[in-house]
C-alpha cells in the first residue's frame, strides 16, 4: 500500500514537472513551424493553422547556420576536454594531499566565481590583442577553459573525496605509479562525476555570448549564440528565426547529454560490482 | 617526499597558471576603475577619486532596495532549485522505462542561453499576448489578466519562477551524478538495520553526497547573486526599480550612464558580500566536509 | 567496457581534442596593411545590424570592390544588441578599424574621447555633398563639424489599424488630445483591445519627450530641446504639466495595464498581434509590419501636434565615420562617399525603410506612396512639423532614459505624484545644463 502510494506520488511529481518543463519548449517548436504572419496573432493558436519549414530554411539562407553550429561544436568540445584534463589533475591533488597553501589554493578557485566579468573585459581584450589571438577560435577555447577550471576542480574534488584512498593504494602496491593509478583505477570509478562535469562545461561554452561577440569578427568563426543574438533587431525580434535557431541549438546538447548519460549509468553499475 | 612535491606541483600548475594569468591579472588591472572617475563619455578625463564611487553607492536608496532584493532573489531561487533538483535526482536514481527521454526533456532548460530564456519568459509572461495568461484564462483559473512583469506585487516572484525553471536542471544533474556513486553496500547495511526509506535518505544518502551538496549550493548561490541576465531580460529592473538586484543595478550603471567607476564600485561591494557569505556558509556547514581550507 | 578500453578511450579523446584545436587557427591574412601602394584592406564595422541589412551592405561593398580593385573591405557585423559595446571596446584598444557606424546617440561620446575625426575636408571636395539634406548634415554633426555621413534618416510617425478605424468611422488623430479620444474609443479590455501601444520601460522617454515638446510648441528652444527659449526645462512649464497629465490619462484609459513595463519588443508585438490600435514608431518597423500583418490592415499618419498646432520631431539615424587611428583614411572616405552617393543611398533607404539623405532622392516615386508618404508630407509641411535637435550632446542623456523609466513607472503606478516627478525631471535637466557649462 505504502509502496503504491510512493509510486503514485512519484508519477504525479514527474508528470507535473515534465509538463512545466516541456511547455516552453512546445511553444518554441510550434512558433518555429508557424509562418511569419501567424506568430503574433490574437487569439493565440496552440496548433498552427498551417505548418511551414520556412523559418528553418531561412536561417540557413540568410545566415550561415551550419557554420555557426560547427564553430560552436569545435570550441565547446575542445574547451570542455581541456578543462576536464586540467581539472582532474588539480582536483585529485587537492582531494588527496594536504600541503602548505592548500587553503589558499582552494580560496583562489572559489574567489574566481565571484568576480564580475565586465571589469576584466577591456584588459582581457587588450591581452588577446597583444597575443594576436583576436578573431581566432583559440581565444574562445582559451577563455572558456580558464572560466571553467575552478568550477570543474571544485566539483571533481568532491567526487574524488568520496572514493576511498585504499583503492589507488592497492594499485600502487601492485606496482602502478601514482600517475597510472590515477589513470587506470580512479578515473573509471570517477566517470559519473567526469561525465556530468563535462556536460556542464560543454553547455556553458555552448551558450557563451559576450566573449564570443567581443573576440570574433569574421562570419566564418562566429558561434551560435552570437548568431541567435543577431535576430534581435532595433525595433523587433525575429521570432521565426529565433525559435528555429533555438530548436536547432538544443539538439546537439541533448545528443551530448545522451552520450554522457551512458557513462553516468555505467559508473553506477561498476560501483555496484565493487560493492 | 620529493616525488610527492613534484606530483602536487605538476597537478596544480596548469590550473593555477591559467587562472592567475587570465582571471586575476585582468581583474586586478580592471578593478582600479572602482577608485576612478571612469565614464565612457569622458575617457580622456579618467582620474582617481578615492572612495567617491563607494560613497555615492551607499547614498543611493536604489542600492539598498537592490541589496534587499538580492537577498530575496538568491534565497528563494536557491531553495526552490535545490529542493526540486534533489527530489528529481532521487526520483531518477533508479532506472525506469523512458528515463533517458525523460531526462532529455527535464534538463534541456539548462542547455538554453541566458538571453534566450529571458526573451522566452518575457513573451510568455506578457499579460496581453503572453501564453500563460491565455492558458490560465482558458482554464478558468483566473478571470482577469495578471501583469506578471508589470505589477510590483508579482514581478519579483515571476522572475524567480523563471530562474527556478532554468536552474533545477543544474542541481538535478550534479546531485544525480553524486547519487550514482553511493556504494550499494551502504544501503545493504542500512537495510539490515531495518531502516525505512526516509531514514535511509537521512542517514545514508544525504551524508554521503554532502560534499556535493555544499559545493553546488555554495557555487550556485554565488552565480545567482552575480548573474543579472534574467532580471535584465525580463523586467529591466522595473516596474519602478522594484526588481533590481545588485548585479542588474551594476549593469544599469554601465548601459545607461556609461559609468564604469560606479559599476566597479558596486562590483567590489558585491565581492566583499560574497566573501562574507562564503566564510559564513563554510563555517555553518563545517567546512571540513567540503574541504579543509 | 574494460578498464583498458576506457584508458584508450581517454587517449582517443585527447587526440581528438588536439585535432579539434588544430582546426581552430587559420587567422585570416588581413595583415597585409599599408605596404605602400599595393592592396589595401579596410576594416569596417556596423552597429544597427540585422541579417537583411548586412546582405544589402555586402552587395554595395562588392560593387565598390569591383570599381576599386586595389581596395578590399572586411565587414564586421556584430549583433545589434552588442554592437556599440564592441565598437567602443575596439576603438579603446586601438584595434585596426577604418570605417565605423556611429549613431546619433553616441557620436558625441566618440568625438569627446577623440575616437573619430571630422570629415569636413573630405566632404568639401565631395561632388554629391551639395544635395545632402540639411537635416542629414545636422544629424551627423557635433558642434559645427561633420563627424559621420548618415546612411538614412528616421522620423517618428503614427501607425494605426486602418481596418479598426474604418469599422468605427474614425480618422487618424492630428493632435495628442485626439489621439487620446480616439484611443478611448478603440479600447475594450473585455475583448483585449486597447487604443495605444504604450511603453513604460526602456525608451519611455521617447513618448514623454514627444508629448511635452508638442505642448510647449513654439516656446521650445529647437537647438537645446529640453529647454524653453527662456532657458527653463520643458518639464517645468504649465504646458509641460498639461502634457504629462494627458500622458497619464493615455496610459490609464487607452493602454494595456501591462504596458507600464513594456519595451520596444512588446510595444511592436502588441500592435502586430492585434491587441493595440495605434503605435508611434520609426519607419524601421515598416518591414516587420509588412511581413507580419495583412495588407490593408494598417496605415500611417503624421506625428501628433500640441494645442498650438505644432508637432516637434527629430530626425534620428546612424552613419559612417572614420576612426582617428585609421591608417587608410583616404580609402575609407572613398568607401563612405561611394555608399553615400545618391544612387547607393537611395537604394539602401528604399530596401531598409529609411528616408534617403539626398534631397534629390525624395523625387523618387517610391517615397511618394505607401507608408513613406507621411514622412515626406511631414518634411514638406515645415509650418506644422518643426525639427528640433535632440539633447545628445549632454553626457547624461543616457541616464535620462533610466530616470524616466524608473520615476515614470512609479508615477504611472500611482506611487509618486505628478508634481514631484516633474520637479525631479526639471531638476535633472537644470543640473545637466549647469554641468555642461562648466
Q: Give the angle subtended at the CA of B75 by the CAs of B69 and B77, to the nearest 5°.
A: 95
> For residue C56, what are the CA distances in angstroms to B51, B187, C345, C347?
50, 67, 11, 9
- Residue A125 with chain C: CB contacts under 8 Å: 89, 93
Cα separation, C345 vs A108, whole angstroms: 55
Nearest to C324 by CA among C105, C115, C82, C28: C115
Interface of C with B in 409-438 (CB under 8 A): 409-410, 413, 415
The C-alpha cell at C175 is 493632435
pTM: 0.90
Which pLDDT score, from 0 to 100, does residue B1 have? 53
Say if residue C122's pLDDT is above 90.
yes
The CATH number that applies at residue B282 is 1.10.3720.10
Cα separation, B224 vs B27, whole angstroms: 20
Cα dihedral sign for A176, A179, A182, A185? negative
Which of C261, C406, C435 to probe the B interface (max B CBs under 10 A)?
C261
Are C344 and C269 within 8 A, CB to CB?
A: no
Which pLDDT score, from 0 to 100, does residue B210 have? 87
The total domain count for chain C is 2
Nearest to B264 by CA among B277, B245, B251: B251
The total domain count for chain A is 1
State whether C323 and C281 are in the same domain: no
Chain B CA closest to residue A179: B7
Number of Cβ atoms within 10 Å of the Cβ of A173: 9
How far is the alpha carbon of C201 from chain A, nearest alpha carbon, in Å?
14
Most confident of B249-253, C116-120, C261-265: C116-120
B255 or C241, which is more confident?
A: C241
Q: Does residue B37 lie within any of the structural domains?
A: no
Q: What secondary structure does DSSP assign to A173-229, as a single string?
A: HTT--HHHHIIIIIHHHHHHHHHHHHHHHHHHHHH--HHHHHH--SGGG--HHHHHH
Which pLDDT score, from 0 to 100, does residue C425 have? 97
Q: Of C363, C387, C411, which residue is a domain's last?
A: C387
Number of Cβ atoms within 10 Å of the Cβ of B142: 12
Which pLDDT score, from 0 to 100, does residue B291 have? 47
State whether C210 and C283 are in the same domain: yes
Are A191 and A263 within 8 A, CB to CB?
A: yes
How far is the alpha carbon of C349 from chain A, nearest alpha carbon, in Å?
16
Cα separation, C146 vs C120, whole angstroms: 6
Which pLDDT score, from 0 to 100, does residue A273 have? 38
| Helix or strand holding residue A43 (H, E) | none
Rg (chain A; Cα; Å): 23
Q: What is the DSSP pairing of strand B36-37 with strand B47-48?
A: antiparallel
**C399·B257 Cβ contact <8 A:** yes
How far is the alpha carbon of C26 from chain A, nearest alpha carbon, in Å?
7
Compare CB distances from A135 to C6, C27, C288 and report the shortest one's residue. C27
pLDDT class for A264, splitting at 50, 70, 90?
low
Q: Which phi and psi angles does B88 have, rounded to 5°?
A: -65, -45
**A42·B129 Cβ contact <8 A:** yes
Number of Cβ atoms within 10 Å of the Cβ of B10: 12
State whether C262 and C230 are in the same domain: yes
Q: Does residue B220 lie within any of the structural domains?
A: yes
Say if residue C28's pLDDT is above 80.
no
The 3-state DSSP class for residue B85 equals helix
Which pLDDT score, from 0 to 100, does residue C35 have? 46
Q: Does residue A16 lie within any of the structural domains?
A: no
Cα separation, B42 vs B259, whole angstroms: 10
Cis peptide leading into residue C391 (ω within 30°): no
Which pLDDT score, from 0 to 100, does residue B286 have? 67
The CATH number that applies at residue C118 is 3.40.190.10
Number of Cβ atoms within 10 Å of the Cβ of B135: 15
Which pLDDT score, from 0 to 100, does residue C30 have? 43
How far is the alpha carbon of C238 from chain A, nearest alpha carbon, in Å?
33
The 3-state DSSP class for residue B245 equals coil
The total domain count for chain B is 1
State whether C382 and C401 are in the same domain: no
- Residue B62 with chain C: CB contacts under 8 Å: 406
**A40·C272 Cβ contact <8 A:** yes
Are C149 and C123 within 8 A, CB to CB?
A: yes
State whether C164 and C223 are in the same domain: yes
Q: What is the mean pLDDT of residues C170-196?
A: 96
Chain A CA closest to residue C76: A217
Are C239 and C215 within 8 A, CB to CB?
A: yes
**A232·C81 Cβ contact <8 A:** yes
The CATH number that applies at residue A147 is 1.10.3720.10
**B41·C405 Cβ contact <8 A:** no
Q: Which phi and psi angles does B197 have, rounded to 5°?
A: -55, -50
Q: Does residue B164 lie within any of the structural domains?
A: yes
**B9 Cβ neighbours under 8 A, 6+ residues apart:** none
ipTM value: 0.89
pLDDT class for C10, splitting at 50, 70, 90?
very low
Cα separation, A129 vs A135, whole angstroms: 9
Q: What is the DSSP letter of A63?
A: S
Number of Cβ atoms within 10 Å of the Cβ of C229: 12
B145 or C35, which is more confident?
A: B145
Are B76 and B160 within 8 A, CB to CB?
A: yes
Q: What is the DSSP letter of A231?
A: T
Nearest to A141 by CA among A71, A231, A66, A64: A71
Q: What is the mean pLDDT of residues A197-225?
A: 93
3-state secondary structure chain C: CCHHHHHHHHHHHHHHHHHHHHCCCCCCCCCCCCCCCCCEEEEEECCCCCHHHHHHHHHHHHHHHHHCCCEEEEEECCCHHHHHHHHHHHHHCCCCCCEEEEECCCHHHHHHCCCECCCHHHHHCCHHHHHECHHHHHHCEECCEECCEEEEEECCEEEEEHHHHHHHCCCCCCEHHHHHHHHHHHCEHHHCEEEECCCCCCCCHHHHHHHHHHHHHHHECCCCCCEECCCCECCCCHHHHHHHHHHHHHHHHHCCHHHHHCCHHHHHHHHHCCCEEEEEECCCHHHHHHHHCCCCCEEEECCCECCCCCEEECCEEEEEECECCCCCHHHHHHHHHHHCCHHHHHHHHHHHCCECCEHHHHHCHHHHCHHHHHHHHHHHCCCCEEECCCCCCCCCHHHHHHHHHHHHHHHHCCCCCHHHHHHHHHHHHHHHHHHHHC
The 3-state DSSP class for residue B278 equals helix
Which pLDDT score, from 0 to 100, does residue C32 have? 43
Q: Where does residue C227 rank: exposed (0-12), middle (13-18), buried (19+ CB within 10 A)?
A: buried
Which pLDDT score, from 0 to 100, does residue B287 have? 58
The share of chain A scoring above pLDDT 70, in percent, equals 94
Cis peptide leading into residue C351 (ω within 30°): no
Which pLDDT score, from 0 to 100, does residue A184 have? 79
Q: Which residues of chain B have pLDDT under 50?
A: 289-293
**A264·B180 Cβ contact <8 A:** yes
- The average confidence (pLDDT) of chain B is 89
> For residue C129, what are the CA distances in angstroms to B265, C133, C321?
47, 9, 15
| Helix or strand holding residue A108 (H, E) | helix A102-112
Lowest-confidence region among A227-231, B183-187, C81-85: B183-187
**A235·C25 Cβ contact <8 A:** no
* Helix segments in chain B, DSSP class H: 2-19, 25-31, 52-59, 61-92, 99-107, 114-125, 131-138, 152-180, 184-192, 197-200, 206-226, 229-234, 246-255, 260-284
**B126·C260 Cβ contact <8 A:** no
Q: Give the angle subtended at the CA of A42 by the CAs of C278 and B140, to the nearest 5°.
A: 120
> For residue C303, what are the CA distances in angstroms to C57, C173, C232, C282?
30, 9, 25, 11
Which residues form the domain of A143?
Answer: 25-271
Which pLDDT score, from 0 to 100, does residue C22 have? 47
Q: What is the pLDDT of residues C284-338, one digit of tens each?
A: 888 889 888 999 999 999 999 999 999 999 999 999 999 999 999 999 999 999 9
**B8·A99 Cβ contact <8 A:** yes
Which residues form the domain of B142?
Answer: 52-292
State whether C229 and C177 are in the same domain: yes
Sheet strand arrangement including C316-321: C71-76, C40-45, C99-103, C316-321, C149-154
**B128·C410 Cβ contact <8 A:** no
Q: How far apart are the first and last CA of chain A?
A: 30
How far is the alpha carbon of B66 from chain A, nearest alpha carbon, in Å?
16
Using a CB–CB cutoff of 8 Å, tell me whether A107 touches chain B: yes
Which of C10, C164, C266 to probe the A interface (max A CBs under 10 A)?
C10
**B40·C413 Cβ contact <8 A:** no
- Residue C281 with chain A: CB contacts under 8 Å: 235
State whether C326 and C275 are in the same domain: no
Q: Give the angle subtended at the CA of A33 by the CAs of A28 and A37, to the nearest 5°.
A: 100
**B185 Cβ neighbours under 8 A, 6+ residues apart:** A275
Which residues form the domain of C262?
Answer: 157-314+394-437
Cα separation, C95 vs C100, whole angstroms: 12
Which pLDDT score, from 0 to 100, does residue A186 have? 81
Which of A20, A118, A240 to probe the B interface (max B CBs under 10 A)?
A118
Using a CB–CB cutoff of 8 Å, tell me whether C393 touches chain B: no
Lowest-confidence region among B268-272, C183-187, C364-368, C411-415: C364-368
State whether C205 and C301 are in the same domain: yes
Cα separation, C381 vs B285, whole angstroms: 74
State whether C171 and C219 are in the same domain: yes
Which pLDDT score, from 0 to 100, does residue A216 have? 96
Nearest to C51 by CA among C80, C72, C73, C74: C80
**C192·B122 Cβ contact <8 A:** no
State whether C99 and C116 are in the same domain: yes
Nearest to C215 by CA among C297, C138, C310, C285: C310
- The average confidence (pLDDT) of chain C is 89
pLDDT class for A265, splitting at 50, 70, 90?
low
Q: Does residue A7 lie within any of the structural domains?
A: no
Amino acid at each position: 500500500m505504502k509502496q503504491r502510494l510512493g509510486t503514485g506520488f512519484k508519477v504525479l511529481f514527474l508528470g507535473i514537472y515534465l509538463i512545466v518543463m516541456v511547455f516552453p519548449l512546445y511553444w518554441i517548436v510550434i512558433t518555429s513551424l508557424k509562418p511569419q504572419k501567424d506568430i503574433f496573432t490574437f487569439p493565440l493558436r496552440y496548433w498552427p493553422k498551417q505548418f511551414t519549414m520556412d523559418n528553418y530554411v531561412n536561417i540557413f539562407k540568410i545566415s550561415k547556420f551550419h557554420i555557426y553550429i560547427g564553430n560552436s561544436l569545435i570550441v565547446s568540445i575542445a574547451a570542455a576536454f581541456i578543462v576536464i584534463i586540467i581539472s582532474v589533475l588539480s582536483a585529485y591533488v587537492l582531494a588527496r594531499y594536504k600541503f602548505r597553501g592548500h587553503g589558499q589554493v582552494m580560496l583562489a578557485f572559489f574567489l574566481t566565481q565571484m568576480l564580475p566579468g565586465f571589469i576584466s573585459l577591456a584588459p582581457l581584450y587588450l591581452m588577446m590583442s597583444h597575443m594576436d589571438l583576436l578573431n581566432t577560435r583559440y581565444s574562445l577555447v582559451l577563455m572558456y577553459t580558464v572560466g571553467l577550471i575552478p568550477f570543474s576542480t571544485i566539483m571533481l574534488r568532491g567526487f574524488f573525496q568520496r572514493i576511498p584512498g585504499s583503492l589507488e593504494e592497492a594499485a600502487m602496491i601492485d606496482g602502478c605509479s601514482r600517475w597510472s593509478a590515477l589513470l587506470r583505477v580512479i578515473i573509471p570509478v570517477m566517470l559519473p562525476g567526469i561525465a556530468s562535469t563535462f556536460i556542464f562545461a560543454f553547455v556553458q561554452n555552448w551558450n557563451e555570448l559576450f566573449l564570443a561577440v567581443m573576440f570574433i569578427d569574421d562570419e566564418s568563426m562566429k558561434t551560435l549564440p552570437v548568431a541567435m543574438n543577431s535576430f534581435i533587431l532595433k525595433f523587433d525580434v525575429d521570432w521565426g528565426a529565433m525559435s528555429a535557431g533555438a530548436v536547432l541549438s538544443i539538439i546537439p546538447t541533448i545528443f551530448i547529454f545522451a552520450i554522457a548519460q551512458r557513462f553516468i549509468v555505467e559508473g553506477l553499475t561498476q560501483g555496484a560490482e565493487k560493492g | 617526499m620529493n616525488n610527492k612535491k613534484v606530483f602536487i606541483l605538476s597537478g596544480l600548475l596548469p590550473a593555477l597558471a591559467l587562472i592567475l594569468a587570465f582571471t586575476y591579472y585582468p581583474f586586478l588591472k580592471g578593478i582600479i576603475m572602482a577608485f576612478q572617475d571612469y565614464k565612457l563619455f569622458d575617457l580622456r578625463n579618467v582620474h582617481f577619486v578615492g572612495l567617491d564611487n563607494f560613497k555615492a553607492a551607499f547614498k543611493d536608496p536604489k542600492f539598498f532596495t537592490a541589496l534587499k532584493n538580492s537577498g530575496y532573489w538568491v534565497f528563494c531561487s536557491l531553495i526552490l532549485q535545490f529542493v526540486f533538483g534533489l527530489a528529481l535526482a532521487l526520483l531518477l536514481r533508479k532506472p525506469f522505462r523512458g528515463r533517458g527521454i525523460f531526462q532529455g526533456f527535464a534538463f534541456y532548460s539548462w542547455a538554453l542561453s541566458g538571453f534566450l530564456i529571458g526573451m522566452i519568459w518575457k513573451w510568455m509572461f506578457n499579460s496581453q499576448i503572453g501564453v500563460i495568461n491565455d492558458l490560465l484564462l482558458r482554464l478558468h483559473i483566473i478571470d482577469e489578466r495578471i501583469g506578471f512583469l508589470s505589477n510590483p506585487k508579482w514581478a519579483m516572484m515571476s522572475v524567480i519562477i523563471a530562474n527556478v525553471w532554468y536552474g533545477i536542471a543544474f542541481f538535478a544533474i550534479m546531485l544525480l551524478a553524486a547519487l550514482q556513486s553511493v556504494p550499494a553496500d551502504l544501503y545493504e547495511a542500512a537495510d539490515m538495520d531495518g531502516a525505512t526509506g526516509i531514514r535511509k535518505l537521512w542517514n545514508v544518502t544525504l551524508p554521503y553526497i554532502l560534499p556535493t551538496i555544499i559545493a553546488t549550493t555554495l557555487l550556485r548561490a554565488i552565480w545567482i547573486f552575480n548573474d543579472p541576465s534574467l532580471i535584465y531580460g525580463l523586467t529591466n529592473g522595473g516596474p519602478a526599480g522594484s526588481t533590481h538586484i545588485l548585479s542588474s543595478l551594476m549593469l544599469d550603471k554601465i548601459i545607461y550612464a556609461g559609468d564604469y567607476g560606479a559599476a566597479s564600485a558596486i562590483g567590489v561591494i558585491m565581492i566583499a558580500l560574497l566573501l562574507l557569505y562564503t566564510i559564513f556558509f563554510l563555517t555553518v556547514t563545517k567546512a571540513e566536509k567540503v574541504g579543509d581550507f | 567496457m574494460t578498464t583498458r578500453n576506457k584508458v584508450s578511450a581517454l587517449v582517443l579523446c585527447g587526440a581528438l581534442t588536439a585535432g579539434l584545436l588544430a582546426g581552430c587557427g587559420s587567422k585570416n591574412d588581413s595583415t597585409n596593411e599599408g605596404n605602400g601602394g599595393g592592396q589595401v584592406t579596410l576594416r569596417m564595422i556596423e552597429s544597427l545590424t540585422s541579417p537583411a541589412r548586412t546582405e544589402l551592405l555586402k552587395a554595395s561593398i562588392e560593387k565598390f570592390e569591383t570599381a576599386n580593385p586595389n581596395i578590399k573591405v572586411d565587414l564586421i557585423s556584430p549583433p545589434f544588441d552588442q554592437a556599440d559595446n564592441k565598437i567602443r571596446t575596439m576603438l579603446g584598444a586601438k584595434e585596426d578599424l577604418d570605417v565605423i557606424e556611429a549613431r546619433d546617440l553616441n557620436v558625441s561620446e566618440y568625438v569627446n574621447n577623440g575616437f573619430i575625426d571630422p570629415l569636413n575636408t573630405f566632404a568639401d571636395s565631395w561632388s554629391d555633398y551639395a544635395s545632402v539634406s540639411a537635416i542629414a548634415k545636422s544629424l551627423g554633426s557635433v558642434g559645427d563639424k561633420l563627424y559621420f555621413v548618415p546612411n538614412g534618416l528616421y522620423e517618428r510617425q503614427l501607425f494605426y489599424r486602418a481596418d479598426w478605424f474604418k469599422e468605427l468611422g474614425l480618422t487618424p488623430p492630428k493632435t495628442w488630445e485626439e489621439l487620446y479620444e480616439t484611443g478611448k474609443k478603440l479600447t475594450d479590455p473585455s475583448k483585449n483591445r486597447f487604443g495605444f501601444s504604450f511603453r513604460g520601460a526602456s525608451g519611455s522617454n521617447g513618448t514623454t519627450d514627444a508629448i511635452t515638446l508638442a505642448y510647449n510648441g513654439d516656446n521650445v528652444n529647437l537647438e537645446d530641446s529640453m529647454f524653453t527659449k527662456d532657458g527653463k526645462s520643458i518639464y517645468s512649464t504649465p504646458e509641460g504639466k498639461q502634457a504629462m497629465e494627458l500622458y497619464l490619462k493615455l496610459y490609464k484609459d487607452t493602454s494595456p495595464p501591462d504596458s507600464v513595463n513594456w519595451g520596444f519588443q512588446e510595444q511592436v508585438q502588441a500592435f502586430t498581434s492585434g491587441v493595440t490600435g495605434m503605435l508611434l514608431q520609426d519607419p524601421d518597423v515598416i518591414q516587420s509590419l509588412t511581413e507580419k500583418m495583412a495588407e490593408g490592415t494598417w496605415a500611417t499618419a503624421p506625428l501628433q501636434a500640441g494645442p498650438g498646432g505644432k508637432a516637434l520631431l527629430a530626425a534620428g539615424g546612424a552613419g559612417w565615420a572614420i576612426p582617428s587611428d585609421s591608417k587608410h583614411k583616404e580609402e575609407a572616405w572613398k568607401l563612405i562617399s561611394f555608399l553615400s552617393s545618391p544612387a547607393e543611398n537611395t537604394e539602401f533607404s528604399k530596401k531598409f525603410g529609411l528616408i534617403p539623405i539626398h534631397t534629390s532622392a525624395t523625387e523618387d516615386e517610391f517615397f511618394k506612396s505607401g507608408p513613406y508618404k507621411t514622412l515626406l508630407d511631414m518634411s514638406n509641411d515645415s509650418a506644422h512639423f518643426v525639427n528640433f535637435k535632440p539633447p545628445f550632446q549632454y553626457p547624461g542623456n543616457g541616464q535620462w532614459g533610466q530616470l524616466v523609466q524608473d520615476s515614470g513607472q512609479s508615477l504611472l503606478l500611482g506611487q509618486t505624484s505628478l508634481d514631484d516627478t516633474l520637479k525631479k525631471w526639471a531638476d535633472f535637466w537644470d543640473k545637466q545644463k549647469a554641468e555642461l557649462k562648466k
